[in-house]
């Protein structure tokens, strides 16, 4: 079914809507946008540069927000004011309000974008749990959306986004994002030891020094995190092999070929192998898994839908087949 409009007034209406998308941003309380800039850029001065107002104007807007809502958004004891826990929560709500307002007409006018396709990159550790569960739910809500999955390591996927070869990617957060990119957290995954079922020790140091070590690919951010942790704790391992695929690593561990350090997956896959998962303790490094994309992406509202679906998959926590 489709609709064809031949009336000039209808065409004029939609043309006007498109021309005024940017203009409508003025109508949201500018202090909310400034608050988000402070959160994202870390200081009043940097936020002022981002939204093109002075440091003093930023300070005035933040004080007005606190007065209007009768809350304390910032701890002003440090040299640079820091968001309080309440301030972070308020900023998260403000972001949702601003995004909803900015995309209100776009969601109506450009809903046809859900009938097209989206290129989604994904690091290998997400391909047997998080990604299939999220895509299953996404297809239930947007049956005409064609999702093209591109596996790869985080750095390579960021380059593909930059070249517009894909639209977004599920990656490990790098130390520095390319200019103009946005990154939205999906989950925090602590690293853990995988050990064969035959082992009995729960001591990470013992396992790492008495069994061959199966490395996570050091070209991957996770592999670099593992190497940094080993060096920090002066642990000399007996390298056996190096792989980038978590399923392959798990299979090697199951075959009693060694132990490994990998991320604890936020979404467990279907029928996991009966290998042992052992914590690295309170000082365990963690990887931040998130969705990266260009801030100027023309498919922003589709990316928003992907992000919300990913959060829902993490909340579910387990992939057990078709989504219900």
* pLDDT class of 18 with cuts at 50, 70, 90: very low
pLDDT at 230: 95
Whether 3 maps to a domain, the answer reads: no
Q: With pLDDT > 70 as the criterion, what percentage of the chain qualifies?
A: 85
What CA–CA distance (Å, rounded) separates 288 from 189? 6
pLDDT tens readout for residues 296-321:
888 888 899 999 999 998 887 765 55
3 dihedral zone (left: phi>0; alpha: psi -120 to 50; beta): beta
pLDDT tens readout for residues 102-161:
776 555 545 545 667 899 999 998 988 899 999 998 988 888 889 999 999 999 999 999
Whether 109 maps to a domain, the answer reads: no
195 with 181, same domain: the answer is no
Q: Does the structure show a pLDDT above 90 at 15?
A: no
pLDDT at 51: 87
Closest listed residue to residue 186, CA positions, set 41, 308, 20:
308
* Domain stops at, among 78, 104, 130: 104
Whether 150 maps to a domain, the answer reads: yes
Angle at 263 between CA 262 and CA 267, to 5 degrees: 130
275 with 203, same domain: the answer is yes
199 with 311, same domain: the answer is no
pLDDT at 270: 66
Tell me, yes or no, if the pTM score tops 0.75.
Answer: no
**Total tally of structural domains belonging to the chain:** 3
pLDDT tens readout for residues 172-206:
999 899 999 999 999 999 999 999 999 999 999 99
25 with 66, same domain: the answer is yes
Whether 321 maps to a domain, the answer reads: no
CATH code, domain with 61: 1.10.10.10
Range of the domain at 276: 189-286
196 with 282, same domain: the answer is yes
Q: What is the 3-state secondary structure (H, E, C) of the chain?
A: CCCCCCCHHHHHHHHHHHHCCCHHHHHCCHHHHHHHHHHHHCCHHHHHHHHCCCHHHHHHHHHHHHHHHCCCCEECCCCCCEECHHHHHHHHHHHHHHHHHHCHHHHHHCHHHHHCEEEEEECHHHCCCHHHHHHHHHHHHCCCCEEEEEECCHHHHHHHHHCCCCCEEEEECCCCCCCCEEEEEEEEEEEEEEECCCCCCCCHHHHHHHCEEEEECCCCHHHHHHHHHHHHCCCCCEEEEEECCHHHHHHHHHCCCCEEEEECCCCECCCCCCCEEEECCCCCCEEEEEEEEECCCCCHHHHHHHHHHHHHHHHHCECCCCCC
Taking all residues of the chain, what is their mean pLDDT, rounded to a whole number?
A: 85
Whether 322 maps to a domain, the answer reads: no
Whether 123 maps to a domain, the answer reads: yes
* pLDDT class of 246 with cuts at 50, 70, 90: confident
164 with 87, same domain: the answer is no
Q: Does the structure show a pLDDT above 50 at 71?
A: yes
Pair 228, 285: CB distance under 8 Å = yes
Pair 107, 99: CB distance under 8 Å = no
91 with 12, same domain: the answer is yes
Whether 324 maps to a domain, the answer reads: no
202 with 128, same domain: the answer is no
166 with 200, same domain: the answer is no
Whether 257 maps to a domain, the answer reads: yes
């Amino acid at each position: 079914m489709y609709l064809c409009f031949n009336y000039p007034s209808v065409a004029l209406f939609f043309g006007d809507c498109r021309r005024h998308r940017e203009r409508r941003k003025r109508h949201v309380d500018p202090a909310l946008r400034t608050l988000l800039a402070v959160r994202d850029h870390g200081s009043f001065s940097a936020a002022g540069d981002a939204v093109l107002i002075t440091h003093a104007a930023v300070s005035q807007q933040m004080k007005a927000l606190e007065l209007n809502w009768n809350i304390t958004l910032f701890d002003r004891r440090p040299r640079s004011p820091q968001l309080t826990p309440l301030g972070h929560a308020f900023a998260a709500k403000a972001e949702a309000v601003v995004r909803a307002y900015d995309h209100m007409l776009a969601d109506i006018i450009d809903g046809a974008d859900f009938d097209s396709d989206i290129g989604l990159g994904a690091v290998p550790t997400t391909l047997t749990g998080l990604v299939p569960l999220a895509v299953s739910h996404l297809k239930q809500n947007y049956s005409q959306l064609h999702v093209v999955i591109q596996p790869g390591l985080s750095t390579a996927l960021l380059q593909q986004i930059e070249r517009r070869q894909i639209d977004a990617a599920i990656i490990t957060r790098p130390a520095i994002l390319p200019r103009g990119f946005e990154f939205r957290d999906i989950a925090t995954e602590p690293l853990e030891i995988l050990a064969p079922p035959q082992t009995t020790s729960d001591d990470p140091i013992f396992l790492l020094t008495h069994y061959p070590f199966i490395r996570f690919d050091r070209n991957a951010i996770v592999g670099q995190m593992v190497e940094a942790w080993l060096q920090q704790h002066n642990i000399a391992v007996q390298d056996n092999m190096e792989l980038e695929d978590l399923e392959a690593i798990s299979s090697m561990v199951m075959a009693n070929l060694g132990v490994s350090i990998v991320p604890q997956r936020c979404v467990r896959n279907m029928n996991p192998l009966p290998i042992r998962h052992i914590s690295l303790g309170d000082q365990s490094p963690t990887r931040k898994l998130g969705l990266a994309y260009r801030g100027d992406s023309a498919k922003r509202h589709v990316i928003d839908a992907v992000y919300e679906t990913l959060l829902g998959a993490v909340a579910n926590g387990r992939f057990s087949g078709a989504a219900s």
